[in-house]
Copies of this chain bind each other. A is one copy, B any other.
């Protein structure tokens, strides 16, 4: 009986999980694929390092060529991370006719088009379910589950670190700095948390989701990004009073043929299913013209959840090999890319202003909104506890990003506006 042979690039957290699942679920996997799946060689940095799983030394190698140039290996799993070497090894593997599974969101978001094009040419499969939202099978849901539908909106809580921080700030009234420090101690945030907290990690994932959901190639520069480091306790508190939770949302939208992608802290109505997704969990909300509202929820990271997605991709590729349809089941983006202008991107907005506490101020401010045709859903004015200024919280009706920018520019010129403390997109 034939067996499918796998080369594993990397034996960190996810790689270890992959070995556990392939060995622990071998019998089930055989039923599903039709033949055994064997991990043949594993690329590690140091063969002598102590491992949490028992592995024969003969399976470990420090030389990538033992995998890439090994003609017995059918499928390469890339879980080493990083960009340059991972990309080079994947392209070499594909050049030698090997199929690839990767969990590398940075790489797929930035170089996915190139890698997939080379894979198509060589009739190789490349799958990357684990690159977005860990254990949630969201990529195959977009590609297969909703193959009949026209997806018009994808909103994702796709970064566990920031969702943990915002959830804690919301539940405990703690400050961003306090919670970040705690998250770092618990290992939920990295020593250098920039990619997570500034929204880059989420942006990579939204580029991948947008590409698959809208069938058009989304590049990283198409995603406008704002992180959570400016979110304050006050913002969260005022949001809650008005019925909102702040979440770092990736939002991909399509109207007619134009698309828009962004990542930003967003006021999400507490009744919306995304509002109650807390801690390190991820969730992706998908709106399709025909199906309407759906949401997919699960662990966004971690050894075993991420490994589940990697091995499910491995099973899919192994099945394709057994069926003789390798390289024939994927679909390249077929829509031309058109980005929405700032006039076309429309949302509700939340503003917190510090203003002079005297007669006529609210009238001056609301005139600015009226002038630019931005109508208001609710306005709340109250004295500020700490200084002689008043605070005004405004929630607008749907307004274009361009219109809001005109409003903000003009508000900044008003004498009575001391500070535009916060501006958030509103959803739900």
A residues at B contact (CB < 8 Å): 17, 20-21, 25, 28-29, 31-32, 129, 135-137, 140-141, 144-150, 215, 273, 276, 288, 290-299, 302, 304-305, 307-312, 314-316, 319, 323-325, 328-329, 331, 334
Contacts and interface: CB of A to CB of B under 8 A. Distances in A.
A80 to B, nearest CB: 20
B297 A296 contact: yes
Contact of A32 (B147, B292, B298, B316): B147
A305 B148 CA distance: 11
A296 B299 contact: no
Nearest to A304: B290
A31 B144 contact: no
20 contacts: A25-B148, A25-B290, A28-B215, A29-B148, A31-B331, A135-B290, A135-B291, A135-B292, A137-B145, A140-B140, A144-B316, A147-B312, A147-B315, A148-B311, A290-B304, A290-B307, A290-B308, A291-B299, A292-B304, A323-B323
Nearest to A315: B147
A298 B305 contact: no
Given A148-B311, A292-B298, 12 more contacts: A21-B290, A25-B148, A25-B290, A28-B150, A136-B294, A144-B312, A146-B312, A147-B312, A148-B314, A290-B308, A291-B299, A295-B298
Contacts of A291: 135, 298-299, 304-305, 308-309
Contacts of A305: 290-292
Given A135-B294, A291-B308, A292-B304, A145 B149 contact: no
A302 B147 CA distance: 18
Contact of A308 (B288, B304, B310, B331): B288
A82 to B, nearest CB: 24
A144 B148 contact: no
Name the residue in A291, A297, A299, A308 with the highest tally of chain B Cβ atoms < 10 Å from its Cβ: A291
Nearest to A312: B148
A280 to B, nearest CB: 11
A381 to B, nearest CB: 32
A414 B145 CA distance: 55
Contact of A146 (B137, B310, B319): B137
Nearest to A294: B298
A324 B325 CA distance: 9
Contact of A334 (B31, B302, B319): B31
Given A298-B294, A305-B290, A323-B325, A331 B32 contact: yes
Contacts of A31: 215, 331, 334
Nearest to A297: B295
A370 to B, nearest CB: 37
Contacts of A334: 31
A171 to B, nearest CB: 12
Nearest to A322: B328
A137 B148 contact: no
Given A144-B144, A146-B312, A312-B144, A299 B307 contact: no
A23 to B, nearest CB: 12
A288 B31 CA distance: 18
A315 B308 CA distance: 26
Contact of A273 (B145, B297, B311): B297
A304 B146 CA distance: 12
Contacts of A328: 323
Contacts of A294: 135-136, 296-299
A241 to B, nearest CB: 20
A20 to B, nearest CB: 8
A260 to B, nearest CB: 20
Name the residue in A137, A146, A324 with the highest tally of chain B Cβ atoms < 10 Å from its Cβ: A137
